[in-house]
Structures are given as structure tokens and as C-alpha cells.
Amino acid sequence: MKKAAIVLLLLGAGLLLLVAVSKMPRMGDSGSPDKTYMVDRYVARGAVEAGDYNVPNDVLLNYRAFDSMGCAVVLFTAFCAVLAILGRAKRGRSHAAIDVSPVSSGMIPMTVVQLLVPVTILFAAYVLFAGHDSFGYSLQAGLLISGTIILITLVFSLLESTKRLRTGVITFLESLSVLAFLVVGLLGIFLQGRFLSFSFPGLHGDAMQAVRLIMMVVIGLGIGIATAVIFTSTLLSLMREEGHELERDIA
């Protein structure tokens, strides 16, 4: 009864939405409703003004850097809430991964993971720094590193994985994205009077471009490392279980 009512309501809403969709301008038309005058400026002068050949990357990190800071803050807040609900996987005190038994997997997954991990981390480092010229951004790199650590956790046990991560270092690294944005932004206020302005006063030409690039790399590194550590810690907190923890020494 409830499902039938929901399906009927959804069919009615769907019909209305499809009629609205059919009256929209044709897909691929240049007169689309979202083409404002700012888009022409971003596309035409983005490579010169913002210094990146990758146009969405310089919209993210230069024209709309404040929104990226909002993104980093939201991610950090969600992670704080996850830690408040679940608690942190303590170092050296957790049991094995998804199944309750402390036996880790067989030979083949362990060997394959040991061969794959350096390649994946190298690719993540490439993606981190390739955003200047080609596709790539710091967030993908952070996620790749986090996925690698989760892979190691799944194949070897959770105990091995948490033994190698110090709690103090992890706690500092999680807040690195917000810290990087704040440091670069306040530097912009002190030097030029505007938050997140990427330049020193009195510099022109190549020096200005170098300074801007350094600041964007700092922000990118902060976002990448923080994303990696945040998602790793979230998954480790999801994996841990109360009441089954083995008391073992860290050494």
C-alpha cells in the first residue's frame, strides 16, 4: 500500500520533470542557461591569469579557491563527526580485518599487494603534481594513497596496519588541508590585503608566477595528504570492533 502510493507519486513527479526537460534548450547548444560571462573569461584568460593549463584546476584553486576551502572544511567536519560517533582505531590494539579470525590472507594476495603498492604510490605522486599541465589534482592522489593503505589493511591484518601509523602524526595530518588553506590565505592578507591572494607585493613576471605556483602546490599537498589520512582513518574506525580487541604490545 505504501509502496504503491510512493510509486504513483514518483510517476507523477517524473512525468512533470520529463516535460520540463523536454522544454530545455537542446543539449550542446551554446545558449545553455549556465553560460554566464564569467565562463568566457575563465576559458579565454585562465591560462594566463591563473597559471594553469588545466582550466578546471585553475578555476578550483585560483578563481574559486574559497569554495575549495569550504570543501576541505566540510570534509574535515564530517570526519570529526565520524570520530565522535565511532571512536578511533587505537594503535596496536585492533584485531584483524573484516572477518573476526586473526588469520591473514594467503600467499598470492600478499605478494601481489607487495608488488603493486610502490607502483600505485608512484602514480599517486604523479597525479598530485600533474595538475599544472594535464589532468590531475591533489584530491585524486590523496584518494589513491588512501586506497592503497586500505588494500594493505585488508590483505594483511588491521593490527599490522595500525601498528605503523602513529596517532599523533595522523591527528596532525588530518587537519593539514584546512591548515594549508588558512596559512596561505592569511599570508595573502598580510602581504596584499586579500584572503587567498597568491602574490607578494612588488613582484612581477616570472617571480610572481613561481610564487603563485608554490602556493598552489602547498595547498594541493595539504589537500592530498589530508584526504588520504581522513579516508584511511574513517575506514579503520569502521573496521574496528568493540570487545574483540586483543591486548598486544606495540613493540
Partner 1 sequence: MSLSGTSHNLNYAAAVLLFLIGIYAVTARPNPVKKVMGLVIMETAVFLFLVSLGLVGGGEARVVTPGFRASTLVNPVPQVIVFIGIVIAAGTVALALSMCVRIYREQDDLDHLRTTGTDGP
Partner 2 sequence: MLQVLNLVLILMIVATAVSVVLIRDLLVAAVILSAHGLLMAILWTRLSAPDLALVYVALFVCITTIMFVVVASRTTRKEER
Per CB under 8 A, residues contacting partner 1 are 2-3, 6-7, 10, 13-14, 17-19, 21-24, 26-30, 32-35, 38-40, 42-44, 46-47, 53-56, 59-60, 64, 67-68, 70-71, 74-75, 77-79, 81-82, 85-86, 133-135, 137, 139, 231, 234, 237-238, 242
Among 46, 57, 155, 161, binds partner 2 (CB under 8 A): 57
Q: Does 127 bind partner 2 (CB under 8 A)?
A: yes
Residue 198 to residues 57, 185, 216, Cα–Cα distance (Å): 15, 8, 8
What does the H/E/C string look like for 97-165?
A: CCCCCCCCCCHHHHHHHHHHHHHHHHHHHHHHHHHHCCCCCHHHHHHHHHHHHHHHHHHCCHHHHHHCC
Q: Does 109 bind partner 2 (CB under 8 A)?
A: no
Cβ 91 to partner 2, closest distance in Å?
20
Write the single-letter amino acid at 240.
R
101 is in the binding site of which of partner 2, partner 1, none (Cβ under 5 to 8 A by kind)?
none
Q: Is 248 helix (H, G, I), strand (E, B) or coil?
A: coil
144 is in the binding site of which of partner 1, partner 2, none (Cβ under 5 to 8 A by kind)?
partner 2
Q: Does 229 bind partner 2 (CB under 8 A)?
A: no
Asked if residue 95 lies in contact with residue 102, where contact means CB atoms within 8 angstroms, the answer is yes
Q: Does 177 bind partner 2 (CB under 8 A)?
A: no
Report the alpha-carbon distance of residue 110 to residue 169 in Å, rounded. 27
Which backbone phi and psi does 199 adopt, to 5 degrees? -155, 150
Q: Does 161 bind partner 2 (CB under 8 A)?
A: no
Q: Does 136 bind partner 2 (CB under 8 A)?
A: yes
Q: Give the residue with the Cβ less far from partner 1, 135 or 172.
A: 135
Which one of 30-38, 54-62, 109-117, 208-216 is the stretch in contact with partner 2 (CB under 8 A)? 54-62
Please name which of 124, 161, 127, 156 lies closest in space to residue 235, comparing C-alpha atoms: 161
Q: Give the residue with the Cβ less far from partner 1, 139 or 196.
A: 139
Angle at 37 between CA 31 and CA 43, to 5 degrees: 95
Neighbouring CB atoms inside 10 A of 174's CB total 23
Which residues lie near partner 2 (CB under 8 A)? Answer: 54, 56-57, 98-99, 127, 135-137, 139-140, 143-144, 146-147, 150, 154, 231, 234-235, 238-239, 241
